Structure 1
Amino acid sequence: MPETYNPNNILAKILRDEIPSARVYEDQHAIAFMDVMPQAPGHTLVIPRDPSRDLLDAKPETLSALVQAAQKVAQGVKKAMNADGITLMQFNGAAAGQTIFHLHFHIIPRFEGTPLKSHAGDMADMRELEDIAARIREAVKKL
């Protein structure tokens, strides 16, 4: 039996501005904001406004718009962070490592010789996240 979308998940609450976030991009289909437990400085999440649990239940038009937003944000993250590369991650189902059941992409800037930090543990300082978000917003605007 397929799971149903829970509108009270943390990402849905961020969409409704019930939980603050350091946003870097938004359009009519998607928003992007800083991950509060970053695996690297500049770790950003991109989520659709459309309620989708994961890639498997999303509407094709939701996926199309989300991938376009993710590409734009990834370009901004790479430029703003002066990264050597970008890791894009997306999980589908608990067995695959998904812990929040609202479709989302992780955009993580990568630097030669620097391993990723764990995604669990301490939350980042919000002032630092806001500073990085401002750099990414500026880079995305220039695309």
Structure 2
Amino acid sequence: MLINMEAFSFLEEYDIEDIEIAFLLEYTPALKPGINLALMYRENEKTDREYFIIYRHFFGKIKKSYISDSDGEIINKLLEHGKISIIPQEKHGLDGYSYTLTFINNMNFAQYSWWEEPEEKWGVFGELVKVIFKYIDMEI
């Protein structure tokens, strides 16, 4: 089942011509509003990527934040060379937080969900989230 696209309907407000979506992220903490986020990029003539995020707290305002070139290089390396195991760990809980990442490449996609911190074999996801969360205002 593809991620709930209704949660990302706010992206329709943006003219995304010449922009690619690298991934969508749903962050759902217990007892607090979550965040829906799109990591996007634009390539220049040299095929360098300019990364930025568009995000919204559940029921909040839409915000946009540009990613620094150095963090963009980290993201690019993780996206192109990151390795994961196919089978996720078996882990769940009642409070804490969960993540759902949906990677998009043209008409293809891959979706991953986990609870709390990802296990070592999915560590690349934790690294991506850590870089991205530097650019998010966690307060509503």
TM-score greater than 0.5 by the shorter chain = no
Flag the structure with higher strand content. 2
TM normalised by structure 2 equals 0.28
Higher relative contact order (Cα pairs below 8 Å, separated by 6+ residues): 1
